[in-house]
């Protein structure tokens, strides 16, 4: 029941790499790539994985930043408070711009939690030691007790791996995003009007559009979770591969790109959540009046783009 | 209306959808290139100095950049 | 504690326990932030916005007040200028009047002095004429006495001489 690519194509990772070719064998191997996270230990039936540890780490970073910044707030901000306020202020402005002033403020805590949680979960990918420190697999022979070289170099279980490179993490947040959007829809429009968005028996075209809306909701869960997962996982693997081929220099060159990608993914996720939230509180009639369909086709585009990859 | 961001900001969300894929566009071809090169190193050159791996990586980078450029070209000019 | 292994309960490494744990993680994070961080953030941002608005209003008010004061000052300066010009003009006419008055007085005084002198001269002339006439009369009487040889009755003589002298004159 494994799904590691290395098992499908053993020859890709099974061979030796001659970075510094010598008769004694290769110095490093390309990493084995596992889509699933690694369970480090279990508590009863509950597996504690390296991605779960990373998500706790990200939570702690976000909490320290925000609680630290808002503990003793001054009218004239400085230091940490200034920094956090700057970021949060931009996001509040964005929320108010997209959803209108009162709704923007109500959506902000949710959108901001998604944004900052994802931001740091993505950015942990560039912390040295993430993906490169771990427990050696059985049967390996660490050099000087801690270093894995040669044929052993990819045979370890990393202790920390970016949370966003775990589908459990991205799927959970995508589910929350979609479910919370539905809850807002029900609460704002009422049961009849909200369900009426999806089940419309008045005319056949409306019925089909409604069914498509339902499909779109599910496509959104997939689109949300796989876009984030795909981008961060691919970036993470890229950093690992470069780190193996060209240690220190290789990954460093791509750190700016990964910082950008991490930020953009967090922003895309939270911005689209915000957009769907503000659509959910708009009734069907208003929606028709505006060009809200553009948004839906946008989702279709994103979803299909994910399906292609 | 402020409640309907789609109307005037369609271009913005289109651009967002594009940059949302940048990480993928760059990273996937590079990783694939690296592993393909590794495969070639092993199979054809009998484990020589990883030249094909590095070549594959660079080829992947070029492909990734080309993908991003193509996607930018497709953006509606606004 | 088990030996680490890759999670693959479901394809793509999805595991219900982990999914649940991640849902819970997000819930906890949201709860703490929404309860402790964001309200404080909003409060501060609103406070600052209010402070800034107040500041802007204050400065606006100060500006209008300054403009008003400036206007007032301008008015006062203008009035003062007008007043001073008025005073200068007044002073000019007053000086003119005083000068004219002094001149008139001086002329009058000069005329008076001239008149006095003329009157005194006339008086002196009359006195001199009188004295001359009397002397002449005395001389004439003396001469006539000599001629006549006797002294004329005083009153007659005098009447005669004086009559003569009056006619001569």
- pLDDT beyond 60 at A79: yes
CA angle A308, B4, B7 (to 5 degrees): 65
Residue pair B33/A241 in contact by the 8 Å Cβ criterion? no
The band of B6, judged by pLDDT with boundaries at 50, 70 and 90, is very low
Interface contact A302-B20, CB threshold 8 A = yes
Residue pair B4/A292 in contact by the 8 Å Cβ criterion? yes
Residue with tokens 């099974």: A14
Secondary structure E strands in chain C: 5-6
Helices A249-280 and A79-99: crossing angle in degrees, nearest 10, is 40
Please, what's the largest Cα pairwise distance for chain B?
Answer: 65
How confident is the model over A182-202, as a mean pLDDT? 86
Total domains present in chain B: 1
Helices A167-189 and A249-280: crossing angle in degrees, nearest 10, is 20
- Low-confidence spans in chain C with pLDDT less than 70: 1-11, 149-153, 168-169
Residue pair A3/C13 in contact by the 8 Å Cβ criterion? yes
Interface contact B24-A234, CB threshold 8 A = yes
Residue pair B1/A208 in contact by the 8 Å Cβ criterion? no
Interface contact A264-B22, CB threshold 8 A = yes
> Of A2, A40, A169, which has the smallest distance from its Cβ to C22's Cβ?
A169
Residue pair C38/A109 in contact by the 8 Å Cβ criterion? yes
Per-residue pLDDT of A250-306, as tens digits, reads 788 888 888 998 999 999 999 989 988 988 888 765 555 444 444 444 444 444 444
Chain C contact for A63, CB < 8 A? Answer: yes
Residue with tokens 């559009």: A209
Distance (Å) of CA A243 to CA A18, A28, B63:
14, 10, 20
DSSP state of A164: G
Tally of CB atoms within 10 A around A22: 8
Chain C contact for A157, CB < 8 A? Answer: yes
- pLDDT beyond 60 at A183: yes
> Of A88, A169, A172, which has the smallest distance from its Cβ to C41's Cβ?
A88
> Comparing A5 with A63, which gets the higher pLDDT?
A63
Q: Helices (H) and strands (E) in chain A — how many of each?
A: 11, 4
CA of C53 to nearest chain A CA: how many angstroms apart? Answer: 13
Residue pair C144/C157 in contact by the 8 Å Cβ criterion? yes
Per-residue pLDDT of A110-167, as tens digits, reads 999 999 999 999 998 888 777 777 777 777 766 666 677 666 666 677 888 888 888 8
The predicted structure's pLDDT at residue C83: 94
Chain A contact for C31, CB < 8 A? Answer: no
Chain A contact for C49, CB < 8 A? Answer: no
Task: Delimit the domains of chain C by residue range.
Answer: 16-168
The predicted structure's pLDDT at residue B8: 54
- φ/ψ (deg, to 5) at C129: -60, -45
**CA B26 to CA A216: how far, in whole Å?**
28
The predicted structure's pLDDT at residue B36: 86
- pLDDT beyond 60 at A204: yes
DSSP state of A137: P
The predicted structure's pLDDT at residue A19: 34
The predicted structure's pLDDT at residue B38: 80
Give a yes or no: residue B1 inside a domain.
no
Interface contact A167-C12, CB threshold 8 A = yes
- Within 13 A of A257's CA, how many CA atoms are on the CB side? 23
CA B35 to chain centre: 16
Chain A contact for C42, CB < 8 A? Answer: yes
Interface contact A168-C33, CB threshold 8 A = no
Chain A contact for B13, CB < 8 A? Answer: yes
- Spatial neighbors of A269 by CB under 8 A, at least 6 apart, are A114, A115, A118, A173, A177, A224, A227, A228
The pLDDT mean for chain A works out to: 77
CA of A153 to nearest chain C CA: how many angstroms apart? Answer: 17
Q: Which of A258, A290, A285 has its CA nearest to residue A275?
A: A290
> C5: which chain A residues are within 8 Å (Cβ-Cβ)?
38-39, 157
Interface contact A112-C14, CB threshold 8 A = no
> Comparing A198 with A176, which gets the higher pLDDT?
A176
Question: Is-above-0.80 flag for pTM?
Answer: no
**CA A63 to CA A112: how far, in whole Å?**
12
Interface test with A, best of B8, B15, B24, B75 (most A CBs within 10 A): B24
How confident is the model over A37-64, as a mean pLDDT? 87
Interface contact C38-A109, CB threshold 8 A = yes
CA of A74 to nearest chain B CA: how many angstroms apart? Answer: 31
Interface contact B4-A292, CB threshold 8 A = yes
Structure token pair of residue C145: 């006495």
Residue pair A158/C6 in contact by the 8 Å Cβ criterion? no
> Of A9, A291, A301, which has the smallest distance from its Cβ to B6's Cβ?
A291
The predicted structure's pLDDT at residue C79: 95
The predicted structure's pLDDT at residue C24: 94
Structure token pair of residue A205: 């075209």
Give a yes or no: residue B56 inside a domain.
yes
Regarding chains C and A, contact by 3 or more CB pairs under 8 A is answered as yes
**CA C75 to CA A1: how far, in whole Å?**
94
> C47: which chain A residues are within 8 Å (Cβ-Cβ)?
75
> A258: which chain B residues are within 8 Å (Cβ-Cβ)?
23
Per-residue pLDDT of B7-62, as tens digits, reads 456 677 777 777 788 888 888 888 888 888 888 877 776 655 577 888 888 899 89
Interface contact A175-C33, CB threshold 8 A = no
List the end-to-end C-alpha distance of chain A, in Å, as a whole number: 23
> Of B6, B35, B53, which has the smallest distance from its Cβ to A292's Cβ?
B6
Chains that touch C (3 or more CB pairs under 8 A): A
Give the SS3 label for residue A158.
Answer: strand
**CA B2 to CA C40: how far, in whole Å?**
26
> C1: which chain A residues are within 8 Å (Cβ-Cβ)?
41
As beta bridge partners, residue A147 has A143
Distance (Å) of CA A54 to CA A8, A60, A154, A160, C162:
27, 10, 20, 6, 163
Domain of residue B28, residue span: 6-74
> Of A4, A59, A85, which has the smallest distance from its Cβ to C29's Cβ?
A59
ipTM greater than cut 0.85: no
Would you report the helix, strand and coil content of chain A in percent, each value rounded to 5? 70, 5, 25
- pLDDT beyond 60 at A25: no
> Of A15, A264, A294, which has the smallest distance from its Cβ to B42's Cβ?
A15
Residue pair A111/A91 in contact by the 8 Å Cβ criterion? yes
CA C91 to chain centre: 11
Query: From edge to edge, which strands make up the β-sheet containing A46-49?
Result: A46-49, A38-43, C5-6
Interface contact A59-C28, CB threshold 8 A = yes
């Amino acid at each position: 029941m494994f799904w590691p690519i290395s098992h499908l194509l053993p020859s890709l990772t099974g061979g030796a790499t001659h970075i510094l070719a010598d008769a004694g064998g290769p110095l490093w191997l390309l990493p084995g790539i596992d889509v699933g996270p690694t369970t480090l230990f279990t508590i009863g039936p509950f597996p504690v994985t390296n991605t779960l540890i990373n998500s706790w780490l990200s939570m702690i970073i976000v909490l320290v930043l925000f609680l630290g910044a808002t503990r003793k707030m001054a009218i004239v901000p400085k230091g940490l408070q200034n920094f956090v306020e700057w970021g949060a202020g931009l996001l509040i402005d964005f929320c108010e711009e997209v959803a209108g002033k009162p709704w923007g403020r109500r959506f902000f805590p949710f959108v901001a939690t998604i944004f900052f949680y994802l931001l740091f979960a993505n950015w942990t990918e560039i912390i040295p030691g993430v993906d490169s420190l771990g427990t050696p697999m059985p049967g390996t022979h660490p050099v000087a007790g801690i270093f894995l070289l040669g044929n052993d170099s990819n045979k370890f279980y990393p202790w920390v791996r970016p949370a966003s490179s775990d589908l459990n993490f991205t799927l959970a947040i995508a589910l929350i995003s979609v479910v919370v959007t539905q809850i807002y829809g029900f609460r704002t429009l009422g049961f009849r009007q909200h369900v009426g968005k999806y089940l419309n028996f008045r005319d056949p075209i409306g019925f089909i559009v409604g069914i498509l809306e339902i499909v779109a909701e599910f496509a959104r869960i997939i689109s949300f979770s796989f876009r984030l997962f795909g981008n961060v996982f691919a970036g993470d693997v890229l950093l690992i591969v470069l780190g193996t081929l060209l240690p220190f220099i290789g990954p460093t060159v791509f750190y700016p790109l990964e910082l950008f990608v991490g930020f953009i993914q967090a922003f895309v996720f939270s911005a689209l959540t915000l957009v769907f939230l503000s659509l959910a509180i708009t009734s069907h009639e208003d929606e028709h009046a505006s060009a809200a369909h553009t948004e839906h086709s946008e989702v279709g585009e994103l979803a299909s783009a994910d399906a292609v990859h | 209306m402020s409640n309907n961001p789609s109307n005037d900001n369609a271009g913005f969300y289109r651009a967002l959808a594009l940059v949302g894929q940048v990480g993928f566009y760059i990273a996937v071809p590079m990783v694939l290139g690296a592993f393909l090169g590794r495969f070639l190193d092993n199979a054809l050159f009998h484990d020589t100095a990883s030249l094909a791996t590095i070549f594959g990586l660079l080829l992947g980078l070029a492909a990734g950049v080309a993908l991003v450029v193509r996607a930018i070209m497709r953006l509606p000019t606004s | 504690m088990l030996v680490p292994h890759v999670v693959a309960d479901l394809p793509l490494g999805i595991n219900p326990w982990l999914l649940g744990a991640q849902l819970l993680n997000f819930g906890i994070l949201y709860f703490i932030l929404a309860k402790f961080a964001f309200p404080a953030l909003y409060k501060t941002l609103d406070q600052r916005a209010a402070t800034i608005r107040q500041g802007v209003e204050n400065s606006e008010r100060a500006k209008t007040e300054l403009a008003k004061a400036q206007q007032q000052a301008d008015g006062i300066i203008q009035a003062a200028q007008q007043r001073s010009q008025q005073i200068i003009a007044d002073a000019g006419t007053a000086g003119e009047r005083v000068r004219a008055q002094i001149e008139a007085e001086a002329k009058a005084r000069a005329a008076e002095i001239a008149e006095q002198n003329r009157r005194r001269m006339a008086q002196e002339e009359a006195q001199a004429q009188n004295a001359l006439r009397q002397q002449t009369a005395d001389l004439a009487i003396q001469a006539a006495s000599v001629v006549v040889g006797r002294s004329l009755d005083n009153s007659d003589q005098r009447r005669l001489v004086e009559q003569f002298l009056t006619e001569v004159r």
